[in-house]
Structure 1
Amino acid sequence: MEESPRSSQGEEPVVGAFAVPEPRGDDGIEIGLAGLLEVAPDAMVVIDGDGRIVAFNAKLTKLFGYDSNALRGQAIEALIPERLHAGHVLLRQQYMAAPVARPMGREQELPARRCDGSEFPVEISLAPLPGLAGTPTPGGNVIAAVRDASERVRTGRRISRFLDAAPDAMIVTDRDGLIQLANAQTLALFGYSADELRGQPVEILVPPESRADHPRRRASFTDSPTTRPMGSGLELEGIRKDGSRVPVEISLASVEDEGDLLVICTVRDISERRLADADRAHLVALVSSARQGLLTLDLTGEITSWNAGAQEIFGFSAADMVGRSWTVLDSPEQSEDSSGTVARILAGEQLHPLDTARRDRHGQDVEVSISLALIQDRHGRPAGVSVVIEDIAERKRDERELIAAKAAAEATNQELEAFSYAVAHDLRAPLRGIDGFAQALVEDYGDVLDDVGQEYLGQVRTSSQYMASLIDSLLLLSKLSRQELCPVAVDLSALAAQSIQRLRAADPQRQVQVEIQHGLLALADSGLMSVVLDNLLGNAWKYAAGGQDARIEFKATEERGVPCYVVRDNGVGFDMAYAGKLFGVFQRLHPISAFEGLGIGLATTQRIISRHGGRIWAQGEVGKGASFYFSLPMKESHHV
């Protein structure tokens, strides 16, 4: 091969569009290589063991925008973005230590840098140049072919955008099952990044127990690639990056790309479908086992399904009823023709459940409640009617018994009320007579009677008056038990203050410290709650400590997580062993000689609180006071 002559300035000879150094033994470059570089279809560059550019062709200078003199002697990193220099130097040194040929298409796509600073993607292939001995030498010269990959990248991006627009996960693999491309849905489904999947065997997405056999299955497809559409494809489990599993359905297709076979795998997440199938199976089981009658009708009112519950109610089996008009169940006692009801539903009318009668297999009327609903197809058009039938014979029987019991109770209450007033009237008259005559004896014959006689007459009057008070209290208790509740927003704090004001007026000599929490509101009957607070605060006033130490408080609190109210005093208290007797009629824990009272107030209070849906209870200790708690569970009860 003839060498080019040197220039007069002593520079190395120029061949074509690039300079070629003279041969230098084993490390030199033959002049004939210059011509080969020039006719190469790609941009070509030769670098020495230090990574310096020693030769290149015109296509390289054109591709990177340099003139023929600017690149010679430059480090190859001049053609690479600055941010990648450090990493590239390390990779270059590793390659130089063990140079082997790396053909185009096997190298990783890299970003390159033009003279003007713009970047573009390239593919490269590498090969060591043999020395004089004809074999590659570590640290020797290396030749690289550089191909502009911009168009391929643009095409790849268009394909990626197309794949990303697909509703399912899509994976492209080569003949060996190595992943070349995965769309965004694949990354989202399996939890990998694109770089983590590219170049990996597709078995990375297959559960461990199936991986050993998967290459055989894959090979059977590549040996005879036929499209397997979704629905007739395989239904498998995939495994995500985090190890969790997902049920999938796949379809396969193949395409030839420059002589290489590519496999396109479409992966559909069928988790929701599996759940829907499970729900559907569960629903079918529920329908089959439901005690209610469940049936469906077509647009003509013909029965299309009939469950076991309907068979239990009417005695007809599904074989008896499917295909027949549901009017066969009509009874002369029903209020509306069945076909007319179906027509109203199909017209879009919404009907309330209908209590009616239907005829069973034996011709007997069955009391049932029927609910009908429109069935629509996926386009929103009427497709039929669903019918739920419930046997209400037992409920109707209970209702009739309840009505009869209520009527009997009302009659009894009326009789008791009449009896109470009659008894009260009949008892009051002689009591008034006894008290009146005793008073007359004292007034008219007091000077005749000695002290003992006058004492006896005083006890007669006291007892008759006490008996009259008992009668009045019993009548009040009876009245409160029947009085209709009128719930309104009640200011319990104000009612308590009024009650204390009445107590102070009746006993002005008594010194009692009273604390009432402000803003206690409740939804209750105002008049009845006034009675409650009169009784509870009256008890506290009566039993509170004597002298200047008497204290009473009324406030909101909480017991075992239940909001409630409390009336508390520091008086004589009581033994908790007898707490159960507190709310009984005429039950007293203290002798009447020590504390006056009738023993009906707390019973009345309990009756009122119970009618409000609440409860009342007490805590106390002998000599350390008592606390009476009550709850009013109506929703509006609160304090501000």
Structure 2
Amino acid sequence: MKPKLTDSEKSKRLREHAEQMIGKEVNPESVDIHSMTPEAIASLVHNLQVHQIELQLQNEELHNIQADLEESQAKYYDLYNNAPVGYLAIDEAGIIVETNDTFCKLISYSRQQVLNQAITDFIAPSDQDLYYLHNKRLQTSRDHQICELRMIRNSGKPFWARMSAVTHYGYDKKSLLCLVTVSNVTLSKDQEILITKQAGLLQALIDSPEAAIFSLDMDYRYTAFNHKHQTEMMKVWKAEIKIGDRILDFMTIPELATQAQHSMDRALRGESFYEEAYQSDQCIYYELHWSPVFSKDSDVVGLTCFVHNITQRKQVEAIIKDSNAYLEQRVQERTHQLESANLELEAFASAAAHDLRGPLRSITGFSQVLLEDYGSVLDDNALKLLATIKRNADLMDSHVVSLVHLARVSGTDPNISRIDMNRLLKTVHKNIQSEQETPPYDLVIAPLPPAYADPDLIYIVWSNLLSNAVKFMQKQSIRTITITGVKRSDFVEYCIRDTGAGFDPKSAGKLFGAFQRLHSATEYPGIGIGLSMVKRIISKHGGKVWAESEVGKGASFYFTIPIEKY
């Protein structure tokens, strides 16, 4: 742009220009003042004065116009240089012939370093081909062209630039110039790349599950879908879908289309729900999960649906259902058979006990008669044999009675009711003291939580456990029994702890078997049936029973009753 002139410089130039024009157009010798009359001279002077005033007015007007032009020029010069985008004028050879300060700042070069340089000097080598294609399109079509590429700053650091270009003839009306705006779009480009990556990841994410996924806008048009849904639509409806298509246009069965639209409308009203659908012509079961899509303002703008093909699951469920029905029938049959067998066993046990106890009582009775009536005539060996016969007959009778009790316990269903455990234990303890002669001992019963169980069966449990504790403390100097109970999350747990003989923990597994003993009958009497009955009773109530001990340090017996049985 031309340098700005001062007012005196402008006046001097105008005077010189005027004198040159007068010298060319007016001959001073052609004007003879001496031959003019005074009136003519006065008229000439008047005209000259008028022209002088006109010239002064015109000069002032021109001066004002010139000032306005210079102000506008300065304003547009600042606007051009400080524009938010860079401006370039590039000739047909690709040389920069004009630029503004903004472009120079973008690439960190001075104006002198930019002018008369090839534009490609400032473009990243990897993007040179992009510029050549852009320029070729511009020269061919002469239409507005946009290109995004990387330019290089003076520091060597690249940045993304958007070049928007048009062609225009220069001042000479002959040379063709390329007028270009350049914007730094690094931030938006980075965001675009990030969004592209995120979109790719999102698409990969929705393509990864087995479910078919799709999203629709308020007009039932696709906004997104995964490969699974695309495949299903082709398989079921022979439809090649794309974004923007209306899903209902592909549903050629009116009943299914109506049902689908009803579900879509529910989701578009803001409802999330689950449903199953069956397509009879394809024999396919679907499980659909519908959810609305909300905007930032919490307005419903669409829906998303996850569709699972559950045909195989339905087939398996049908097989399982049939199998369960068959198994239930078999269980009922087997239960009936077992119940019959138990009844028969109980009847047999009762009959056998009755039949066996008769001869046993005879043996015992006649042995006692022999001892009483003929004891004086029998020698010591015969008396000893009779005593052995009577003792073993009594033992056999006890076994028979225990077997009957065990059979009855095994075949009895619990009659559930609420049990006050402290009250029940007092009754058990009183009966044991009245039936047995035992050394003195201390019994400590803590407050026990109640239980819902069969009172008669639980009486047997406490009776066996307490009798055993008393029996195995007889030879100990310190005899104490402690009974506690605690209510846990799923069950009530009870414990009876004694200071008796104890047992080897390795043998704990044998304790609850029928006729299993860890001590000899001569040392501690008994036939080994009590703990077996305890286990069967607690198992009938859905609980567990176990024992902990060390030899010579007493024993602790635990049992539980589930709370859900309450």
More helix by share: 2
Larger Rg: 2
TM-score normalised by length of structure 1: 0.44
TM-score normalised by length of structure 2: 0.49
